[in-house]
Structures are given as C-alpha cells and as structure tokens.
Amino acid sequence: MPLVRIDVLGTDQKRLDALGRAVHEALGETMGFPPDDRFQVLTGHDGTSSTLRYDDYLGVHRDEGIVYVAITMRSGRSPERKRALYRRIAELAHEYAGIEPRNVFITLTENESIDWSFGDGLAQYAPED
C-alpha cells in the first residue's frame, strides 16, 4: 500500500517505468513506505483511441507532456509530508523521465485500514476480532 495510477499521453514502456520508479522512490523518501510495497497501474494513452484532457487551470500551462498521478493510501500524513511528496515526485519525474514539473498533476486520496484487501479476501490491516 499505496496504490498508484499513472496516466501519460504519448509514451513508451521505458518512460512509464521511469515514472513508476520516480513515484515509488518519492513515496519511500517522504512517507516511509518500504521498497517492496509497490502497487502501480501504469497506462500510456496514444491520443487517438485513448487520451488525456487538460487546461491551464490556476495559471499552470500544461501541454502534451501531461502526467496524471493518482495515489490512494491510508490517512494520517501531515500536510508538510504531502507537500514534500508532491515536490519530490515532480523532481524525480523530471530527472528520470524528462517530464516538466508543470506537467505533473497529482491527486492523493486517503482511506482507512478496513478499505484494503491485499489478497485472499482478507482485510489484512483490519482483521476480525
């Protein structure tokens, strides 16, 4: 845990892998997740059969290099740690995949321990009494 979804317009497997690595490392550095805690959905969109839409909301000029990063994790992290996460993802996405930081759009969704099952139909973080 966490569950990460990364959507990129016009990319290849190497770039998707680099973005996955960037987000995973940033989560480890800023949130303390262990190295083997990786659950990711990496999706490239070709702009024809699937695409991404964006505008210049809040004065941030985005272009075809847009990357959407959606992270779901358990609640409880401070605003400072979340800000550090956003910064570090943008830095590493630029370093590893050449993504301009202005094109890194991140959303974080929090939930509770009971909201996770890692297999076998069990709520491993919230076992029955």
Q: How far apart are CA 4 and CA 15, in angstroms?
A: 16
Over residues 15-28, the pLDDT tens digits come to: 999 999 999 999 99
In this predicted structure, what is the pLDDT of residue 47? 87
Helix (H, G, I), strand (E, B) or coil at 36: coil
Unique residue bearing structure tokens 């941030």: 60
Q: How far apart are CA 33 and CA 81, in angstroms?
A: 13
Helix (H, G, I), strand (E, B) or coil at 55: coil
The tens place of each residue's pLDDT in the chain, 129 residues long, gives 899 999 999 889 999 999 999 999 999 999 999 999 999 999 999 988 999 999 999 999 999 999 999 999 999 999 999 999 999 999 999 999 999 999 999 999 999 999 999 999 999 998 887
Catalytically active residues, by annotation: 2
